[in-house]
Structure 1
Amino acid sequence: MPPLALVPGAVPLPLPPAPRRRRGLLIGGIVALIAALAVAGGAVFVANRDSFAAPAEAAAPTRTRPPTTLESATAALKTQAAALIRNDEKAWLAAVDPGQAKLRARYKTMFRSLRSLGVTAFDYRAFRDPDGADTAKGVDLDATISYCFTDNVCPADVDAKPTIAAKLKLKPVGGQWVISSSAPTKSEDDALPTPWESGDLVFSKGKRVTLVALPSEKKYFKKLLPIAEAAAVVNDRFAGMVGNPQKRYRIYLAGAKQWTQWYGGMDDKWVIGYAIPLNEAGMDVVLNMPELKSDTRLLETTVRHELGHVVTLGAAERTSWTAGDMWLKEGIAEYIGWYPQPATASWRRYSVSKAVHGSKRPKSIAVNALKDNASVEESDAFYGLGHFAADCMAKKYGQQALFTFVRLYLREDKDLDPASREAFGKPFSTVDKACVAWIRSKA
């Protein structure tokens, strides 16, 4: 797992203002989305490999040579992908070795999960594994699979779609090439495997939200669905303000085991939720249910916060962010997480007060990003300051102006000052100075 500051999600649970017990769970955000987006697009190409697409002459009716092993194997994968889209489970499983019961069971649950998620695109790009076999008895492939779901935007560019990577072995059985082995290939920041790659998922669909879990977490559906539906209503409003309306939100409920596995696994004990980008096709939310199940208020703010990332960052025109953007990314998610309550009602107010009245008081609302080894207290203050900054801009210039600023800066890649002038009618230095003073007076 990469350092916490490079993980798509690490927000500290607010510390209480009094000497009562100090809590340190994290409610997830996006700390370095650029790394996660790189994962979501992660196809690696090696020069001089034969590509998935057969040569032009392969499709010509006057073909004079038999297909190569690569062409035959990849044609079987293409047939399997088409079977998934047309909802033909029998044809999908026909591409899996009939002599391997466990492998076929995994592909069967994968088919049903993908269909329940509303798969609309599923395409293989496969290349010879240079270290593997390529004979009439079998072929080893490096495969990249791109996909889309009904409720996400599906980019036309294949490299903009979410992807997974796998090493596949195919062999001929009964005159047909079938998958005899399939193993995920971890990307450079380990944000794989996806939840749907293994495990028999169950679903609960509300008006605006779909909850997804293994059967062991199904027990949380009844409590979580109304909370998620209410959070969706709040986020729908802000999605409209930034021009990113959502067809439907998806929230994955991870048990203790899944929390350490899905999307590479989260091993930091403070993290209890994060939003994961699906390349340029939106974002999904993952919750650590064993840590959230008994605290309803924390669950409510966590879900609103994470869906806030979905609407403010998902499928943005901007293709990269830096650590310097973190103050606004997390600040606006905190604003949404607590809405309609003001920043002064937040659990983090105590930490913010200590920060702005201490010896190292911040001189700008655009504070430096958290370091990898930041303490819980530092993290608490950082997220609280972001919340106060967002609340200040809303109070002084209007909520619509705040979300116009968010759209311009986070989604459309304008610099701080041009975004501020367009949204607020003032240079960012003026807004910054006014909000630093406002936070000191309110915290």
Structure 2
Amino acid sequence: MEDDLDHRSGRDWVARAFGAFGVMLLAVSSVSVVFWPQPQRPKPATAAPVVAPDPSTVIERDVRFALQGQVDALLSGDEAGWLAPVDPAARKRYRAIYRNLRNLEISRAEYGVEILGGSTTSAVDARFMLSYCLSDAACPAWDDSVGRGPPKVLYELTLTRRDGGYVVTGIADIKDENPLQPTPWENTELRFARGERVIVAGPPGQAKNLQRVLTAAEKAAKIVDRFSTEPPARYRVYLADDKTWKQWYGGQLSKWVIGYHIALNQTGSDIVLKAGDVLDSDRQLAITVQHEMAHAVTMVPSRNWDQDEDLWLIEGVAEYIGFFPGKPQNTESRYSLRSWFDEHGPIKSIVRPELTDESDDLTVSTLYATGHYAVGCLADRYGRARMLVFVKQVIQEGQDLDPASRTAFGKPFKTVDKACVSWITQRV
């Protein structure tokens, strides 16, 4: 039988049996049953045999006791309690995790643990999973998968028995199993700037730039909030230097990307900006942060499992909101489409093909620009509210274009597409 992986939060916990984080659930309930006593003849007293506890049970119990204490301390703001079961050699990283998560307004945390084979009473190797939710984001129930339920981080821990309990003496990353790792907050103690709607964070070397980003982000948030009936409780913006840009969330290496948005499963999202590019000018910073915030209100939550196919609309609505209140024809999108028209002739559809690793700069910029103009057309011809219904149906609900068009505009997409191609051509 495989080792158990148990997850708990606060005083409530559920025991779960995992094989490489499997899905068997052991439901434990307590039922009180009353039996009427029956007359019995007295029996001679006998001594009950003394049974030594199973060592694996002791290991599991004591490891869980230490980890549960940490989770409780994290949620209650008790840094000393969080660090208590950690060896001094590992405390720097644990301290950074604690302080970062507290600054990021952690609101809920749960854990899962699997005692690995070869563990002994004196030395334990364990696979540890910590789930987290930040600010007031709706936090779903625990799920064993890293891709479902709340977002999670995974580690391999080494624990050593000392003074009747376990102390964490080593923490190692588990690579290539979780697309949401490495997070910006799990390795370095970040610096923070906090506003009414936005938290901005970055490595120590970016501390001098955080307030500048916060000013732009707070202004952007007031605009972006207008495009959502349920804007996020907080927008989180991370400012990456060249090193962390290549590390956080697996690194962003595409040459045209200077900022990105990443959904934390279905519980909010993070925005990462490349400091070396977005800080070139106040305009570049403002447009980029507003564009990425637009993704936060138009992409989460999502049941669209083929987003590459809808990239023209995903980026188009982000460009529309990112440049708002400017009109597409008064932005850089106009120059991109003019270049495409000069080289390839007018567009035949507002839908652009998927991008590939071989896509050149003009192809990329044309997808963004066409999407920008297309969303501008939809808002101009049918009103912003209907445009947003169409966007939601396609981007979040994963509907095909024609049924989404009929729902939002009362017309087949072919008709809408033709009308917007004409609208765009008149304005390029």
- Please report the TM-score for the alignment, with normalisation by the length of structure 2: 0.84
Correspondence for 1:156? 141
Task: Verify: 1:183 aligned to 2:168, yes or no.
Answer: no
Q: Deviations 1:333-359 (Å, cap 9, x if unpaired)?
A: 000111111111121322212334654
**Which shows bigger deviation, 261-270 or 104-113?**
261-270
User: Alignment partner of 1:170: what SS?
Assistant: strand
Structure 1 match to 2:37: none
Equivalenced residue count is: 386
Contact 1:148/1:154 (8 A) holds in 2: yes
Residue number in structure 1 paired with 2:93: 106
Aligned partner of 1:302 in structure 2 is: 288
Q: Secondary structure at the match of 2:99?
A: helix
Q: Residue in 2 aligned with 1:338?
A: 323
8 Å Cα contact 2:292-2:318 kept in structure 1? yes
Distance 1:294 1:355 in 2: 26
Counterpart amino acid of residue 351 in structure 2: A
After superposition, the CA RMSD in angstroms is: 2.5
When residues 217 and 79 of structure 1 are mapped into structure 2, their CA distance, relative to the original with a 3 A threshold, is same
CA distance in 2, matches of 1:137, 1:227: 53
1:252 and 2:224 matched = no
Match of 2:308 in 1: 323
Q: How far off is 1:264 after superposition?
A: 1.6
Unaligned runs of 5+ residues in structure 2 are 1-16, 30-50
Per mean C-alpha deviation after superposition, the further-off stretch among 269-278 and 375-384 is: 269-278
For residues 394-405 of structure 1, the aligned pairs below 5 Å read: 394-405=379-390
Asked if the contact 1:305–1:337 (Cα under 8 Å) also holds between the matched residues in 2, the reply is yes
Match of 2:66 in 1: 76
Q: Give, in whole Å, the separation in 1 of the partners of 2:25 and 2:128.
A: 13
Q: State the match for 2:214 in structure 1.
A: 225
Distance in 2 of aligned mates of 1:110 and 1:277? 20
Please give the per-residue CA displacement for 1:148-171, whole angstroms capped at 9, x wherever unaligned.
112422123443211111111112
The Cα shift of 1:381 comes to 0.9
1:373 alignment partner in structure 2: 358
CA distance in 1, matches of 2:271, 2:238: 6
Q: Corresponding residue for 2:268? A: 282
Counterparts of 1:334 and 1:141 in 2: how far apart (Å)? Answer: 45
1:299-340 C-alpha deviation (Å, 9 max, x unpaired)? 111011000000001223x25233211111000000011111
For normalisation by structure 1, the TM-score amounts to: 0.81
1:229 deviation in Å? 0.9
Inter-partner Cα distance in structure 2 for 1:50 and 1:345: 53
**1:273 maps to which of 243, 259, 262:** 259
Hey, what's the Cα distance between the residues in 1 that align with 2:62 and 2:383?
A: 61
- Contact 1:97 / 1:180 at 8 angstroms: preserved in 2? yes
Aligned AA (2:79)? E
Is residue 422 of structure 1 aligned with residue 407 of structure 2?
yes
User: Relative to 1, partners in 2 of residues 1:50 and 1:129: Cα closer, same or farther, differing over 3 Å?
Assistant: farther
Aligned to 1:373, the other structure's residue is in SS state coil
Q: List runs of 5+ in structure 1 lacking aligned partners.
A: 1-44, 58-62
Contact 1:292–1:299 (8 Å) recurs in 2 = yes
**Structure 2: distance between partners of 1:218 and 1:49:** 38
Question: In the alignment, which of 109, 121, 125 is matched to residue 112 of structure 2?
Answer: 125
Question: CA 1:180 to 1:189, structure 2 compared with 1: closer, same or farther past 3 Å?
Answer: closer
Aligned partner of 2:4 in structure 1 is none
The residue type paired with residue 189 of structure 2 is D
Partner of 1:293: 279
> Percent of pairs identical after alignment?
38
Contact 2:18 2:24 in 1 (8 A): no
* Letter matched to residue 207 of structure 2: K
Once residues 270 and 202 of structure 1 are traced to their aligned partners in structure 2, the CA distance between those partners, rounded to angstroms, is: 27
Give the counterpart letter for 2:53 in structure 1: R
Is the counterpart of residue 167 in structure 1 residue 156 in structure 2?
yes
CA distance in 2, matches of 1:368, 1:346: 22
